[in-house]
Amino acid sequence: MSTVAFETVFPLCHSKLSLYRLKHIPLRPFFITCSSNLHDASFIFGQPQRTLSPVHAATLTDTPVLHSLQCPDNTNTFEIDQIQMVEGKIFVKLDHGKGLRDRELRVSCNLPGKWILHWGVTYDGDVGREWDQPPHDMIPFGSVHIKDYAIETPLMKSSLSAEGDTLHEVRIDLKANNGISAVNFVLKDQEAGVWYKKGRRDFKVSLINDLKTDTNIIGPTRGFDLWPGNFGQLSKMFLKSEVDQDDSSESQDDSSDSRVSEQENNKPEGFYEELPITKMVMVTNSISVSTKKYFESGAVKDLLYFETDLPGDIVIHWGVCRNDSRRWEVPPPPYPPGTVSFKDRALRTQLRPRDGLKGSSALITLEEEFSGFVFVLKQNENTWFKYMGNDFYIPLASSSCLLDIGNKEDQSEGVQRKVISQENSFFPFTDIIPNEIKNLVTDNSSGKSQKTKSKIAPRNIFQEIERLATEAYNIFRSSIPTFSKATTAKPEATIVEPETTTVEPETSIMEPQETTIVVSEASVESEALSLDSKICSGTGTGYEILCQGFNWESHKSGRWYMELKEIAPELASLGFTVVWLPPPTESVSPEGYMPKDLYNLNSRYGNIDELKDLVKTFHEVGIKTLGDAVLNHRCAHYQNQNGVWNIFGGSLNWDDRAIVADDPYFQGRGNRSSGDNFHAAPNIDHSQEFVRKDLKEWLCWLRKEIGYDGWRLDFVRGFWGGYVKDYIEASEPYFCVGEYWDSLSYTYGETDHNQDAHRQRIIDWINDANGTSGAFDVTTKGILHSVLERCEYWRLSDEEGKPPGVVGWWPSRAVTFIENHDTGSTQGHWRFPSGKEMQGYAYILTHPGTPSVFYDHIFSQYKNEIASLISVRRRNKIHCRSTLQISKAKRDVYAAIIDEKVAMKIGPGHFEPPNGSHEWSLAVEGKYYKIWEAS
R_g (Cα) of the chain, nearest Å:
34
The answer to whether 505 touches 737, Cβ cutoff 8 Å, is no
- Let me know if 404 is a catalytic residue: no
Distance CA 336, CA 858 (A): 75
Distance CA 379, CA 373 (A): 20
What sign does the CA torsion over 805, 808, 810, 814 have?
positive
The answer to whether 710 touches 735, Cβ cutoff 8 Å, is yes
Cα dist from 73 to 353, 408, 644, 853, whole Å: 25, 11, 90, 62
The torsion of the CA quartet 699, 700, 706, 709, rounded to 10 degrees, works out to: 80
Closest C-alpha to 387, from 422, 346, 435: 422
**Terminal C-alpha separation, the chain:** 46
Distance CA 111, CA 226 (A): 14
- List of residues 6+ apart from 475 with CB closer than 8 A: 530
The torsion of the CA quartet 411, 412, 414, 420, rounded to 10 degrees, works out to: 130
Q: Is 337 helix (H, G, I), strand (E, B) or coil?
A: coil
Instruction: Residue 326: count other Cβ atoms within 10 Å of its Cβ.
Output: 16
Q: Nearest 5°: CA angle at 870, between 868 and 876?
A: 100
What sign does the CA torsion over 78, 81, 84, 88 have?
positive
The answer to whether 441 touches 506, Cβ cutoff 8 Å, is yes
The torsion of the CA quartet 716, 722, 723, 725, rounded to 10 degrees, works out to: 100
Q: Which of 714, 768, 777, 799 is catalytic?
A: 714
Q: Is 641 exposed, middle or buried (0-12, 13-18, 19+ CB in 10 A)?
A: exposed
- List of residues 6+ apart from 834 with CB closer than 8 A: none
The answer to whether 545 touches 572, Cβ cutoff 8 Å, is no
Q: Which of 739, 777, 799, 899 is catalytic?
A: 739
The answer to whether 582 touches 605, Cβ cutoff 8 Å, is yes
Distance CA 347, CA 379 (A): 16
- Helix (H), strand (E) at residue 160: strand 156-160
Distance CA 618, CA 622 (A): 6
Return the HEC string of 863-888.
Answer: HHHHHHHHHHHHHCCCCCCCCEEEEE
DSSP-assigned letter for residue 136: G
Closest C-alpha to 130, from 78, 192, 205: 205
- Let me know if 739 is a catalytic residue: yes
Q: Is 736 helix (H, G, I), strand (E, B) or coil?
A: strand
For the chain, helix (H) and strand (E) counts, in that order, are 18, 45
The answer to whether 81 touches 61, Cβ cutoff 8 Å, is yes
Size of the chain in residues: 935
Phi and psi angles of residue 374, each rounded to the nearest 5 degrees, phi first: -120, 145
The answer to whether 671 touches 685, Cβ cutoff 8 Å, is yes
Most distant CA atoms of the chain, gap in Å: 113
User: Helix crossing, 560-574 with 863-875: angle to 10°?
Assistant: 50
Q: Nearest 5°: CA angle at 810, between 469 and 910?
A: 105
Helix, strand, coil shares of the chain, percent, nearest 5, are 25, 30, 45
Catalytic residues: 714, 739
